[in-house]
Amino acid sequence: MDPIPFWKMSGSGNDFIVIDNRGGRIGLATLAGFTSRICRRKLSVGADGLILVENAADADFSWQFFNSDGSRAEMCGNGARCAARYAYLNGIAPESLAFNTDVGQIQARIIGDRVRIQMTDPVDCRPERTIDLGRGVVKAASINTGVPHVVVFVDDIDAVDVVALGREIRFHQDFAPAGTNANFIAPQPDGTVAIRTYERGVEDETLACGTGAVAAALILARTAARPSPVRLLTRSGGELSVGFEMDQGHFQEVFLEGDARVIYRGTMDAEAWHYSQPQDAIGP
């Protein structure tokens, strides 16, 4: 392929490569390998994921979203905000817009450098469950906010071994074969909720996770009567706001709001994806 124009964007520290693919220049045949190569830090652009903005007949645009390992993800809250602002800044969509994802159509509104997105209604909410781990039985909760999430309450957010414990939960047999994301949360004295996340597909801790923040907020509403909106402090220091309506334990009108910043604009040469790299062994 010829050099590819792209934007690098960040949603509360979750970073993405965003490409206008409305002309269809990037095909699906080799997309997994292409994605994992350009998202590899230090050898290429580096990012938590790739967003392709594409045409849609019934919305302002459609997207394809891929994790940094090349796997396709149904939804990404921070990525959705970045895609929306990208489309607005490039004249693809107005301030209030809609775009198609694998979980359905997402509504969004641009507010300066922040974006509010209307999430799809969550499913599979289990506010109380246990997971048998190597360290013993852990009390947790789980919910699908577009992608599956486990939420674990902790006393000290800084003391959690997010990679080790998160990976064990991510690959646990209870969530096979698709796996899950793992979130660790600790309510703070100022009313915010500190959150750290191990992300499936990135296979590491990320500085923020939008669908994870939504999962944490909704679990707090179910288990601790936390009112809407819930403010969550991510590992990057950025703050996400999650709003919702709850009726007899069922959620609707769920929104996620946070920043969606443009970091830089550039052009990738073929050398960004044509290089040798060791094969990473990712798994439990």
- φ, ψ of residue 57 to 5 degrees: the values are -85, -25
Partners of 153 in beta bridges: 185
Q: Are residues 82 and 183 in the same domain?
A: no
Q: Are residues 103 and 206 in the same domain?
A: no
Answer yes or no: are the C-beta atoms of 9 and 262 closer than 8 Å: yes
Based on the residue annotation, tell me whether 76 is a catalytic residue of this protein.
yes
Q: Are residues 78 and 155 in the same domain?
A: no
Note the pLDDT of residue 284.
47
Catalytic residue among 39, 82, 125, 209: 209
Q: Are residues 70 and 144 in the same domain?
A: no
How far apart CA 91 and CA 195 sit, in angstroms, is 34
Residue 171 structural domain: 123-257
pTM of the model: 0.93
Note the pLDDT of residue 248.
85
**Whole-number Cα distances in Å, 31 to 86, 88, 137:** 21, 25, 39
CATH number assigned to the domain comprising residue 209 = 3.10.310.10
Q: Are residues 60 and 160 in the same domain?
A: no
Q: Are residues 20 and 82 in the same domain?
A: yes
Q: Are residues 80 and 19 in the same domain?
A: yes
Q: Are residues 13 and 77 in the same domain?
A: yes
Catalytic residue among 39, 76, 82, 125: 76
Q: Is residue 81 one of the residues assigned to a domain? A: yes
Q: Are residues 138 and 194 in the same domain?
A: yes
| Backbone CA torsion sign across 113, 118, 123, 128 | positive
Q: Is residue 128 one of the residues assigned to a domain? A: yes
| Backbone CA torsion sign across 139, 140, 141, 142 | negative
3-state SS of the chain? CCCEEEEEEEECCEEEEEEECCCCCCCCCCHHHHHHHHCCCCCCCCCCEEEEEECCCCCCEEEEEEECCCCECCCCHHHHHHHHHHHHHCCCCCCEEEEEECCEEEEEEEECCEEEEECCCCEEEEEEEEEEECCEEEEEEEEECCCEEEEEECCCHHHCCHHHHHHHHHCCHHHCCCCCEEEEEEECCCCCEEEEEEECCCCEEECCCHHHHHHHHHHHHHHHCCCCCEEEECCCCCEEEEEEEEECCEEEEEEEEEECEEEEEEEECHHHCCCCCCCCCCCC
Residue at token pair 């010829």: 2
Partners of 149 in beta bridges: 143, 181
Q: Are residues 89 and 140 in the same domain?
A: no
Over its length of 284 residues, how does the chain's per-residue pLDDT go in tens digits?
689 999 999 999 999 999 999 999 888 767 889 999 999 999 999 999 999 999 999 999 999 999 999 999 999 999 999 999 999 999 999 999 999 999 999 999 999 999 999 999 999 999 999 999 998 999 999 999 999 999 999 999 999 999 999 999 999 999 999 999 999 999 999 999 999 999 999 999 999 999 999 999 999 999 999 999 999 999 999 999 999 999 988 899 999 999 999 999 999 999 999 997 666 544 44
Q: Is residue 175 one of the residues assigned to a domain? A: yes
Q: Are residues 128 and 98 in the same domain?
A: no
Note the pLDDT of residue 278.
64
Peptide bond into 189 cis (omega under 30): no
